[in-house]
Structure 1
Amino acid sequence: MISPARSRFGWKCCRALGVRRNTAVSESTFSLLQQIQRTHGSEDQGTLQSVAGSVLRVTLPGPVFVGQGLRVREAPAVVLRFDRAGVVAALLASDASPPTAGEVVVPGRSLALQSRQWAAGVTYASVADLLTSEGSPSESLLKLPANPAVPSRRPIRQRLASGLAAAELLLPLGQGHRVGLVGPPGTGKSASLRMLVASQPADTAVVYAAVRSPERLRSEFEALGFSERSAPAVVLCAEPRASAAERYFLVLSALRLATSLRKSHQHVLLAVDDCMNFAEAANELNGAPPVPPAQAVAAMLDTGGNFEDEGAEHALSVAIALDLVPEDELPTTAREVWRGAEPSLDVCLNFSAKLAAHGVLPAIDLDVLLSSAGYPPVYQAPLLGALRKEIRKLLERSKQLNQRLETGRELGFHAETEDLDALGSDTVARALLSHSKPRSLRELAVLACASVVYYFPHHRTPPRSALAGFQAEVLESIRSECPAIWDSLDRLEELKEADVGQLLRELGEPLLARRFHYQLTRGDM
């Protein structure tokens, strides 16, 4: 029913809302005007209707929007969606006692990251401690960052240090690449991702996100020597027992932080461990996350690249770990995430459960990597390019020999001892391209040269301790007995292509001279 506004609510109230003296409005229209004119801090309190785990059903007066921050007691929460029945929200705190129906809910503004200046060095932070419900709509974590325009994209020109022998030799990464580490659990993807992070130069800004305790992450990174830095390195984490909303916003917070650091740093690396945990957390949010995980992962990869802004180039490299096997019949969520991620990946490192079962970790599938490795990129050092050719020959030879022996075994043929010896030696050489800590380029050059020139009289893959001991002994022998060669390898990226052959001969001679000095090359294990 239409009634004069001033007779019902008073002239002063109507004047404050901009309603003229003789204007007639309905009660619903007046209520809407009140909501529009409501200023921050004057919101009425809401009521908690029901609780299901960390998901809440809330009644809120006034305007509501997805991504709005709430307070239940002192615990933060966020609006996921709303309908006529009420508002669905999720608790961000996992250590607080669960609220009960009837408690007061205080609405806030957008859920966003706190504004702060990140100092140089490594900072370990829980994502729940960095969130605030007083952000502006443009700072909302549910607003995915815009991708740079296509005309501003530039070719990949600089090497992205990975510390991984398989990647550095066969398929070197570049600053601005979108890299996927894909494989079943327990194959070394998380360890490889941490080695990638620890290999970055001190002036590279790093954002790393993982569902892990901060104490465990600190000990793992400190063991890799990831400490002194001139640029900020932010390690975001959420406890494994954290709420679904906290684990969900972990990835969105890392994405927002990396895109903000890109404005002030020439190169930023965003590394996200186990995106499938993020997808599982999204499914726990009552089955309706504000941003579907497949869309979030695709948007995160699309932000990567090399760009030009105001005459200067900036690179954002993105590396994600996915616990899935694309060839298997995947669950719906995993299949959608993979379909969203695969088209945006520049490099995909596949990990093999079979290799991991034989003790080869990280279990990077060299045969798959070999099939996807084309011409060497321009930023690969010439000496590593020469070793790359020899490694490719070794891998192709061992692959063909293994296929021939498998076929003969199926047909009932007897395998020649010479073939078994050659396959065993090549298997050990392949295993030497795996390691438990990041390696510098000169260390990788020495180990790659050793795997090519040595013969290993073993039919089975040696234990990881034996492989690690051999790697340490070979590196120490070159470092202590051939200091001139060791110093030359330190300037490996500056080496001219004409000088590669001479340096390889100088490196190969002392290695061959000590070919019987190691237990792994004597065969008496």
Structure 2
Amino acid sequence: MSVEVTAIIPRLAERLGEARPRPMKGTVRSIRGVLLRASVAGVRIGEQCQLRDPSSGRSLAAEVIGFEQDEAILSPIGSMEGLSTRTEIIATGETLGVSVGDAQLGRVISPMGDYLDGDGVLPLGIMRHYPLHAEPPPPFSRQLIVKPMSLGVRSIDGLLTLAQGQRMGIFGEPGVGKSSLLASIVRHTDADVIVIGLIGERGREVRELLDVQLDAQARARTVAVVATSDRPAAERVRAAYVATALAEYHRDQGRNVLLLMDSLTRFARAQREIGLAVGEPPTRRGYPPSFFSALPRLLERAGPGPVGSITALYTVLTEGDVSTDPVAEEARSILDGHIVLSAELAQRNYFPAVDVLRSRSRLMDQVCSDEQRHLAMRIRELMARRNEIEMLIRVGEYAAGSDPLADEAIARHAAIEAFMRQGAAEPSGAEQTLSHMRKVLA
């Protein structure tokens, strides 16, 4: 008998190894706003569940974001149209992730991984799975930042030079040309791969950016993640994490990646919508405490890694005083610099409308040459002096010869403006930009 049992044990072990645990199931208790509460045992924070409604046939994914007594709080990733109290909740036991691969270059995807450009799906066999909420690289595993990053925009490359692996914010009011600036950067940058996250944008603008403003060469090295303004809050939040995960994949392949996220403000508003629906107490401007911990976790994932780098540009919508805007204030405190776009310059048909004197790149001195640093300081000095005497010039009260620096600022004003202005389809490499700076001060 013992011999028979001994012979059976290996076969039983093999069968048990092939067995799949029965998934935990539950039912919807209530649906309120953008969240639903369900009775489903054994789920964890961050776990992905599947929702299936037997009456409507509706099916979509949801993420467990909290608990209240014996109920799980889930945030559906998609429209809740068609769900009911009969909807079945199936726990998958898996955390949220995203499929990544080189074949996605040139494609437009949704936060759930669906392809939106009508060019068909990619075989799963050529894709890899990456976590949606990965940890940032440890500080001492990151490469040192030593190389400049060319964006092809003179005012930025010359006076606000970025480094490979730097994280910058682009701050501006609606309508100052943020999307046009991003399109120009995508066309002219020297990055190996470009990842664009379009969060809360109008559908018309998405089509214009990707199909009109980008040429075929730029599109071929770009992957875009799109969640338009009509999509649910959970989907808009997920878009930011998916774009970051795609950038991390390409960084891990040793590439120089440019991550463009438009906009960080709409990610924050979607996070606020979810936080308030859960019942978190509102703080400044109604933002819940969870937002102030989610923002640095997202932004810290960019930057250099052990191999490769992610240079990130995040647009931030500003209204009024930046010091009273918690999103802008938090972003400025975390990022490695800020580019301010001026509504006044935009009204003068000034592109790009970069207000150099209010902008700063914290890593410029680490990566640019002594000559460029000297030229940039001199140009900024002349621009600042010209601004100080602007009113005197307008009313005819400035007396030439009374201030040598002011005289030089007036004399070089036209050359500086010509340097700052640049057509969207006009590229300017690093050497061209430096040569133009020399001519301004010649």
- Within the candidate set 66, 75, 88, 1:104 is matched to 88
Secondary structure of the structure 2 residue equivalent to 1:281: helix
Residue 64 of structure 2 is aligned to residue 68 of structure 1: no
Which of 286, 292, 295 is matched with 1:294 structurally? 292
1:178 deviates by 1.2
Structure 1 spans left out of the alignment, 5+ residues: 1-38, 132-137, 454-503, 505-525
Q: Pick which of 440-449 and 317-326 moved more.
A: 440-449
Q: Shift in Å at residue 402 of structure 1?
A: 1.8
Q: Find 1:125's aligned residue among 104, 109, 112.
A: 109
Quote the offset at 1:179 in angstroms: 0.9
Q: Conserved in 2, the CA contact under 8 Å of 1:72 and 1:105? A: yes
Q: Aligned to 1:122, what secondary structure does the other structure show?
A: coil
CA distance in 1, matches of 2:206, 2:370: 32
**Secondary structure in 1 aligned to 2:63?**
strand
- Matching of residue 430 in structure 1 with residue 430 in structure 2: no
Whether the 8 Å contact between 1:121 and 1:227 is mirrored in structure 2 is: no
Q: For residue 277 of structure 1, report the CA deviation from its aligned partner.
A: 0.5
Deviations 1:368-415 (A, max 9, x none): 23x778975544596x66764663354134123226558xx7xxxx62
Following the alignment from structure 2 to structure 1, what is the Cα–Cα distance between the partners of residues 143 and 22?
A: 49
State the partner residue of 1:364.
Answer: 354
Q: Does structure 1 residue 155 correspond to structure 2 residue 144?
A: yes
Contact (CA 8 Å) 1:45, 1:104: kept in 2 or not? yes
- CA drift of 1:320 comes to 0.8
Is 1:284 paired with 2:273?
yes
Instruction: Give SS of 1:181's match.
Output: strand
Give structure 2 stretches of 5+ with no counterpart: 1-18, 54-58, 116-128, 281-287, 401-405
2:386 equivalent in structure 1: 398
Structure 1 residue 160: Cα displacement: 0.9
Counterpart in 1 of 2:254?
A: 265
The structure whose Rg is larger is 1
* Aligned match for 1:88, one of 49, 67, 73: 73
Aligned counterpart in structure 2 of residue 345 of structure 1, from 335, 338, 344: 335
**Superposed CA RMSD:** 3.8
Is the contact made by 1:180 and 1:349 (CA closer than 8 Å) also made in structure 2? yes
Q: Which of 397, 401, 404 is the aligned partner of 1:415?
A: 397
1:242 aligns with one of 231, 243, 255: 231
SS of match in other structure, 1:251: helix
Asked whether the 8 Å contact 2:259–2:311 carries over to 1, the reply is yes
Q: Percent identity?
A: 21
Partner of 1:188: 177
Could you say if the C-alpha distance between residues 68 and 291 of structure 1 is closer, same or farther in structure 2, counting changes exceeding 3 Å? Answer: farther
Offset at residue 51 of structure 1 (A): 2.0
Change (3 A) 1:340 1:417: closer
CA-CA distance at 1:246 after TM superposition: 0.2
Q: What do the CA deviations read for 1:30-75 (whole angstroms, capped 9, x no partner)?
A: xxxxxxxxx8652343222222233212222x20212222223312
Contact 1:171–1:376 (8 Å) recurs in 2: no
CA contact (8 A) 1:118 1:232 kept: no
Letter in 2 for 1:51: I
Name the CA distance, whole Å, in 2 between partners of 1:296 and 1:277.
14
Say if 2:148 and 2:162, in contact at 8 Å, map to a contact too: yes
Q: Cα deviation per residue 1:207-241 (whole Å; 9 max; x = unaligned)? A: 21012367743542454444336985321011210
Q: What is the aligned counterpart of 1:172 among 161, 182, 185?
A: 161
> 1:139-196: CA deviations, max 9, x gaps?
653x4x3232333334322221212221111121110111111222222233323333
Task: Flag the 1:286–1:292 CA change in 2: closer, same or farther, 3 A.
Answer: closer
Quote the residue 1:50 is aligned against.
Answer: 30
- Pick aligned residue for 1:321 from 296, 299, 315: 315
| Separation in 2, partners of 1:270, 1:80 | 27
Secondary structure of 1:64 counterpart: coil
Find the aligned partners of 2:289 and 2:96 in 1 and give their Cα distance: 15
Match of 1:265, as an amino acid? G
**What TM-score do the two structures reach when normalised by structure 1?**
0.63
Larger displacement relative to structure 2 (212-221 or 104-113): 212-221
Aligned partners of 2:185 and 2:78: how far apart in 1? Answer: 31
Bigger RCO of structures 1 and 2 (CA < 8 A, at least 6 apart): 2
Aligned length: 388
Alignment CA distance shift 1:301-1:91 (3 Å): closer
Question: C-alpha separation between the residues in 2 aligned to 1:443 and 1:214?
Answer: 36
Aligned residue number for residue 275 of structure 1:
264
Candidates 22, 31, 39, aligned match of 1:59: 39
Q: Distance in 2 between matches of 1:240 and 1:47?
A: 30
Opposite residue 349 of structure 2, the aligned amino acid is G
TM-score after normalising by structure 2: 0.74
Contact map agreement 2:24 2:42 (CA 8 A) in 1? no
Return closer, same or farther for 1:41/1:440 CA change in 2, 3 Å cut-off: farther
1:220 aligned to which of 206, 209, 216: 209
Mapped to 1, the partners of 2:422 and 2:357 lie a distance apart of 18
CA distance in structure 2 between the partners assigned to 1:232 and 1:225 by the alignment? 11
Shift of 1:80: 1.7
Seen in structure 2, the aligned counterparts of structure 1 residues 378 and 209 have a Cα distance that, compared at 3 Å, is closer
